[in-house]
Amino acid sequence: MDAIPCPPSLSSELIDQPLADPEVPDACLVFDTALARRLAQAKALLDRLERDSDSRDLSALGAARIEFAQASRAVADDVLSRGLG
């Protein structure tokens, strides 16, 4: 599929236009790295256990689901405490 070329006048108008800064609350600009790391590690472990169908350790899978839920909640609590919500 071929791209449709822009007319030269239009393409020069689109280049170097400043983008408007989105209105982002300060709460979104700072993310607790320890909470982010905990959530990412919990998600990685949960994904690994869910993919491993050969050795279904249901207690480990349950514990991983609980840790992921708790890590998600901790991130949400942190965001809410910063005034977003």
What CA–CA distance (Å, rounded) separates 39 from 28?
Answer: 17
Residue 1 has pLDDT above 50, yes or no: no
Domain ranges of the chain: 29-85
Q: Name the nearest CA neighbour of 75 among 63, 85, 60.
A: 85
Give per-residue pLDDT as tens, 19-71. 565 565 555 556 788 999 999 999 999 999 999 877 778 999 999 999 999 99
Query: What is the reported pTM?
Result: 0.62
